[in-house]
Amino acid sequence: MKIKWSTNLVVNVVIIGFVMIVIALLIPEFASVRSTTIADPIGSTVIDEVNSDNVKPIDANISDTVRYGEYKEMKDSIRRMRDLKNGVSPSSGGSTAGFIGTSSGRSCDTCSLWWLNTHFRDIHEQHYVVLPGWKLKLATTDWGANTDDSVKFFVEHGQAYVRKAINTYTKMKDGSTYHTMHIKDIPVKFRYDDKAQNLLIPVSIKTKNVVSIIAWCVLIFILVYFLYLVAAFLKFVLDLSKGHAFTDENVKRLLVIALSLLIAPVLILILNLIMRFIFRDYFMPDVISKTSSWKDSWQEPFVGIVFLLLYRAFRQGKKLKDEHDLTV
């Protein structure tokens, strides 16, 4: 059976495909939220026991008795040292092309703050492939620590860890459920920029340079193609002002603009999924899709559908115009 690809069918397929991809990306995030907020079978959310498994504080605690100015200064110093340990202390720049990019950061596990201020350029530089579409899941519970994430990333002695709470439920003889929360440090291969909420893949300087060239090429292509679409739309408007509405050129321009707006966000989503497949050895269940990287792209498909409907209307108008010219 041969399918006739009408404009209505194309619009419906595009909408359904976009919704399916969005749902596929949201499932891991909702699943991660469920895993951190799950209650025991009888509906109790009370934690009967918290087992920290002898984990140490990630950073030194600041006394509440210090003055505000001192507290702010000490907080800033701790933050700078944590960035240095995590390998994300600002260094040489990089490039980003939406779904992939590069960056570099200074990394030192034993440097003092004084040494950092006087020998910053002598500190080891770590290079990364940046995955802007992926992040560590956000906080949904508070398990007794001041944290912005339900999982906390940190580096100690050159090894990256994710500190997370693992829930276990034990059915007791009296029918009750005993809830135990274990706080564990899980070794991971990736690094994490908690400010930008980007997943970082450690690479060599050579790999970083290659990916940077690819990212710049993609950025240049996007810029050139965007200017091409703007030019096509301006030519379309100019033809309308001259009374040349139903022409082959205008019909083609509307189709190109419509398909570009429809395909672009879907392509970005697919490329982000491909990044997860390529770097699958660096991923873990707590790494989820960053909705902020593609939520603004929702506008493009709707505008694309409008242009697709305009294309259909102008194509029909072109047919009627040609038939009228033949009769005359």
- Characterize the bridge pairing of strands 101-106 and 89-90: antiparallel
The total of structural domains in the chain comes to 2
Residue 210: which pLDDT band, with cuts at 50, 70 and 90? Answer: very high
Q: Are residues 228 and 303 in the same domain?
A: yes
Residue 257: which pLDDT band, with cuts at 50, 70 and 90? Answer: very high
* Position 1 in a domain: no
Average pLDDT, the chain: 78
Whether residue 187 is predicted with pLDDT greater than 70 in this model: the reply is: yes
* Position 176 in a domain: yes
Task: Name the residue with higher pLDDT: 134 or 294.
Answer: 134
Q: Are residues 151 and 270 in the same domain?
A: no
Whether residue 224 is predicted with pLDDT greater than 50 in this model: the reply is: yes
pLDDT digits (tens, 9 = 90+) for 162-185: 988 887 888 877 778 887 888 888
- Last-in-domain residue among 155, 178, 204: 204
Q: What is the pLDDT of residue 281?
A: 93
pTM of the model: 0.76
Q: Are residues 250 and 291 in the same domain?
A: yes
Q: What is the pLDDT of residue 145?
A: 41
Q: What is the pLDDT of residue 21?
A: 61
Q: What is the pLDDT of residue 40?
A: 41
Q: Are residues 94 and 169 in the same domain?
A: yes
Q: What is the pLDDT of residue 84?
A: 85
* Position 236 in a domain: yes
* Position 131 in a domain: yes
Q: Are residues 138 and 219 in the same domain?
A: no
Q: Are residues 174 and 214 in the same domain?
A: no
Q: Over the chain, what HEC string results?
A: CCCCCCHHHHHHHHHHHHHHHHHHHHHHHHHHHHHHHCCCCCCCCCCCEEECCCCCCCCCCCCCCCCHHHHHHHHHHHHHHHHHHHCCEECCCCCECCCCEEEEEECCCCCCHHHHHHCHHHCCEEEEEEECCEEECECCCCCCCCCCECEEEEEECCEEEEEEEEEEEEECCCCCEEEEEEEEEEEECCEEECCCCEEEEEECHHHHHHHHHHHHHHHHHHHHHHHHHHHHHHHHHHHHHCCCCCCHHHHHHHHHHHHHHHHHHHHHHHHHHHHHHHCHHHCCCCEEECHHHCHHHHHHHHHHHHHHHHHHHHHHHHHHHHHHHHHC
Q: Are residues 242 and 280 in the same domain?
A: yes
Q: Are residues 73 and 187 in the same domain?
A: yes
Q: Which of 46-55, 98-107, 140-149, 313-322 has the lowest mean pLDDT?
A: 140-149
Q: Are residues 95 and 200 in the same domain?
A: yes
Q: Quick one: average pLDDT of 213-217?
A: 92
Q: What is the Cα–Cα distance from 205 to 129, expressed in whole angstroms? A: 10
Q: Are residues 173 and 249 in the same domain?
A: no
pLDDT digits (tens, 9 = 90+) for 91-115: 777 888 878 999 998 888 777 777 6
* Position 305 in a domain: yes
Q: Are residues 60 and 192 in the same domain?
A: yes
Q: Quick one: average pLDDT of 119-138?
A: 82
Q: What is the pLDDT of residue 91?
A: 73
Residue 142: which pLDDT band, with cuts at 50, 70 and 90? Answer: very low
* Position 37 in a domain: no
Q: Are residues 65 and 177 in the same domain?
A: yes
- Last-in-domain residue among 204, 228, 254: 204
* Position 115 in a domain: yes
Any idea of the CA torsion for 62, 68, 72, 75, to the nearest 10 degrees? 10
Task: Name the residue with higher pLDDT: 277 or 175.
Answer: 277
* Position 307 in a domain: yes
Query: Which range marks the domain in which residue 269 is found?
Result: 7-26+208-321
- Last-in-domain residue among 157, 175, 204: 204
Whether residue 20 is predicted with pLDDT greater than 50 in this model: the reply is: yes
